Amino acid sequence: MSLWVPAAAGPTYMNMPQDPGKTAHSGPLDRLHRPLRDLRISVTDRCNFRCVYCMPKEVFGNDYQFLERKEILTFEEIARVALIFQSLGAGKIRLTGGEPLVRRNLEQLIAQLAAIPGLDLTLTTNGSLLERKAEALKKAGLKRITVSLDALDDPTFKRMNDVDFPVAKVLAGIDAAAAAGLAPVKINMVVKRGMNEHGILPMARHFHGSGHILRFIEYMDVGHTNGWRMDDVVTAREIVSMIGREMPLEPADPNYTGEVAQRWRYKDGGGEIGVIASVTQAFCRDCTRIRLSTEGKLYTCLFATAGHDLRTLLRSGAPDGEIRDTVAAIWSKRTDRYSEIRTSQTAKLEKIEMSYIGG
């Protein structure tokens, strides 16, 4: 494994190229020369699923204490943060959770964010509430949507979500999103060996030719409660090989620098799939993402063990310039590359749960 030589301490800035969804503002570089491009905002720590790789029921049960309303950022605070981050080069915002659609009146936040010129605004959802909310999300200004769906057969899907939720309702949500103009819909499938790898081909067959983009995600050691083991990982290589034997694939170029999914195109013209191989083919070198938790803490890596408090600054009357400088300083000290240095020992670290900072 090659090691990178850190840049000198202190903020380093660059002019940002005009990539899709990216601003042309100057922004900071981290210690490994990576720009700040993408902000992921968790709008709630609550979810109506208990997926085994994210919010296992034995930890997040009926007596689990979620954040109180006063602790979470308001829509106005989130919109203010979004403007500050855009000035630093973050031209793409993804709303996450928990399950973002359980946050009341979320369309109001989307409308506020959509009013920011040039912002690429997206959202990731489990799809459970999407059928009835898709049109309102689109009208509010949402541009694109990603739906998590880990199997097509009810027994497997219900075992994964652990709340007895049926596949049909998620598929109806995907159809509603497409009808509302949020197409192409991206569908994410987390693959865990021994649970749902038998559903890889059925998923590929179902969405082949649909116009949607199916993406397979290697099971990751996010958080500290999902019992991750390397033996549970179905690798991207295995997934591509399995699908390619039945429906031949060819590699496709990334849409932009830093795209996490490796793209593969069906040779028969039936669309494309993606594989996100954070475990076996680390993409830390191009990582441009930062995460804002529900209660206003910044995390510079999905596998972080600690965050930086922005909520106190927001609520203490700090001007935008002070908050901007604080964020720039945090990013400029960033050296995260967890997936490149992952070992059996790092996997045991008490990392922040994915339900808290979003995927």
Residue range 84-95, pLDDT digits in tens: 999 999 999 999
Q: Mean pLDDT, to the nearest integer, of 166-188?
A: 97
CATH number of the 12-357 domain: 3.20.20.70
Residue range 43-53, pLDDT digits in tens: 999 999 988 87
Q: Name, in order, each residue with C-beta under 8 angstroms of 35's C-beta and a sequence gap of 6 or more.
A: 14, 16, 27, 28, 29, 89, 288
Which range has the worst mean pLDDT, 58-62, 139-143, 160-164, 311-315? Answer: 58-62
Give domain limits for the chain: 12-357
Residue range 16-45, pLDDT digits in tens: 333 433 444 468 999 999 999 999 999 999
Q: Which of 143, 20, 39 lies closest to 81 in space, CA to CA?
A: 39
Q: Mean pLDDT, to the nearest integer, of 92-110?
A: 96
Alpha carbons 63 and 106: distance in angstroms, whole number: 26
Q: pTM for the complete prediction?
A: 0.86
Cis peptide bond N-terminal to 98, omega within 30:
yes
